[in-house]
């Protein structure tokens, strides 16, 4: 069975071109699923529903790859899932058909590109973090308590003047935040070696 998928990014965009192309490619109008959502979202209601309906021997048709996904990684993952389930993929305007050796080769190349993209993102992130550290900036969230507040919290805790909840209430932070700032030596001493 042939299934079609069309997507527009906003409700203002017109999907008629895609729907017309899918019907010309043999997809019955009742088997065309349309999402009005950004392609950067990996979960899309109509796509998700249609993917659950696909069975071995079916073919999913789209007009262009960017209608199916904006992320190469998501696209390749989806392509691999379809292949495992023995569902074909035909991209009308780009001439990709996974029923052919050329179409499968195209998806193979896309998977290599997705891996490269992922590795470049990781490398760029590491470089950016290293450059920020070299300039004296540290990543992560800023502590909810200042060093002075943390010291006071520790003092109140060590002297057993207030409970952890009372200390948290004093500084207007959750109890878990207070625990994160406390050096609980009494707990460490009770732990067997």
Specify which residues 6 forms β-bridges with.
34
List 9, 42, 71, 111, catalytic entry = 9
| Cβ contacts of 143 within 8 Å, gap of 6 or more | 150, 181
Whether the CB-CB separation of 100 and 91 falls below 8 Å is answered with: no
Whether the CB-CB separation of 170 and 145 falls below 8 Å is answered with: no
From CA 72, how far away is CA 39, in angstroms rounded?
11
From CA 118, how far away is CA 161, in angstroms rounded?
52
Phi-psi region of 26 (alpha: psi -120 to 50; beta: other; left: phi over 0): left
Output phi, psi for 62, to 5 deg.
-135, 160
Would you state the torsion angle of the CA atoms of residues 25, 31, 34, 40, taken in this order, to the nearest 10 degrees? -80
Active site residue 9: yes
Instruction: Name the residues annotated as catalytic.
Output: 9
């Amino acid at each position: 069975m042939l299934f079609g998928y069309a997507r527009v990014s906003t409700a203002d965009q017109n999907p008629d071109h895609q729907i017309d192309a899918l019907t010309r490619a043999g997809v019955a109008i009742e088997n065309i699923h349309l999402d009005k959502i950004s392609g950067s979202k990996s979960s899309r209601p109509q796509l998700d529903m249609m993917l659950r309906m696909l069975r071995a021997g079916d073919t999913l048709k789209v007009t262009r790859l960017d209608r199916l996904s904006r992320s190469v990684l998501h696209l390749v993952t989806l392509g691999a899932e379809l292949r495992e389930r023995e569902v074909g993929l035909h991209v009308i305007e780009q001439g990709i058909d996974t029923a052919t050796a050329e179409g499968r080769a195209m998806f193979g190349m896309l998977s290599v590109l997705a891996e490269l993209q992922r590795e470049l993102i990781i490398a760029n992130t590491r470089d950016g973090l290293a450059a920020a550290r070299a300039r004296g900036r540290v990543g992560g969230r800023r502590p909810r308590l200042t060093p002075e507040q943390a010291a006071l919290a520790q003092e109140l805790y060590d002297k057993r003047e207030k409970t952890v909840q009372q200390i948290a209430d004093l500084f207007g932070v959750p109890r878990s935040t207070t625990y994160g700032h406390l050096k609980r030596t009494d707990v460490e001493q009770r732990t067997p070696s």
